[in-house]
Amino acid sequence: MTTEAQTSAALTAEESEAIRAAGGNNAPLRLLAEDDEDLAIISAALQDSILRPADIVWEKGARRLTIELSRFCWECGGTWVRAAMQFGDVLAVKSRGLPRLPDTPLELLAIHFIEGEAPSGKVILMFAGGGDLRVDVECLDAVVADLSERWQARVTPTHLDGTGE
């Protein structure tokens, strides 16, 4: 598993370009992940997103996990937008070190896929402060979509190296 310092590094040029291409001309971002390379792009797009435990909804019967969040738009000059990420074919969801109070803010650092017996695996969402959410999936099936208009950010997220990008 990577360290917090590694996961909160700035976006690579390749990740930034992929996000810009998917969002094109500030259009709402829409991404699909079916493998770990796709998920790396989603991870980059959602780096520094803010959510609350109440924004995480697991529908066990439908085998679906939905997370609503405020996404910092690195690719469009520093704005925020409401977005949602959804995983299909979810077998189980477990948390470790996450607060239980429903309105506690959480900052998403990175998302990783640990492959199991193909095509199954575990999606790990890592949060600032050391907490994580593990999503066991039958196969990787994740989507992200912007839901709202963007609004100007008052502050740019910063990283351990002191840069905001």
Indicate the pTM of the whole model: 0.82
Nearest residue to 86 via CA among 98, 68, 99: 68
- Average pLDDT in the 18-44 region? 83
164 or 153: which leads in pLDDT: 153
- Which of the pair, 11 or 103, is modelled with greater confidence? 103
Domain ranges for the chain: 28-150
Written as one string, the DSSP assignment of the chain is: ---HHHHTSPPPHHHHHHHHHHHTTTPPPEEEESSHHHHHHHHHHHTT-EE-GGGEEEETTTTEEEEEEEEEEGGGTSEEEEEEEEE-SEEEEEEES---STT--EEEEEEEEEE-STT-EEEEEEETTS-EEEEEESS--EEEEE-S--EE-SS----TTS---
- Looking at residue 16, its pLDDT comes to 61
> Which tens digit of pLDDT belongs to each residue from 103-130?
999 999 999 999 999 999 999 999 999 9
- The pLDDT tens digits for 80-106 are 999 999 999 999 999 999 998 999 999
